[in-house]
Amino acid sequence: MKKDNSTIPYSEQSFGTEPQGLVKFMRTCILWQLWRFFILNFKIMKIIIGGHS
C-alpha cells in the first residue's frame, strides 16, 4: 500500500502557516496590545458593573 504525502508526520504540510504582514504587526505592536488590553478590561467592567445593579 502506497502512503500519500499528506499523511507523513512532521512534514512541511503538517505545520500551520506563518502569520504575515498586518497580522504579524498587530501581534507585536505594543501600542495596539495596550489598546486592546484596555478595551477588553472596559468590556469586562461593564459586565461586572451591570451584574451588581
User: What's the pTM?
Assistant: 0.58
Given this model, what pLDDT does residue 18 score?
Answer: 84
Over the stretch 27-50, which tens digit does the pLDDT of each residue have? 999 999 999 999 999 999 999 998
Between CA 10 and CA 47 the distance in angstroms is 44
pLDDT tens, position by position, 4-35 = 555 677 777 667 788 899 999 999 999 999 99
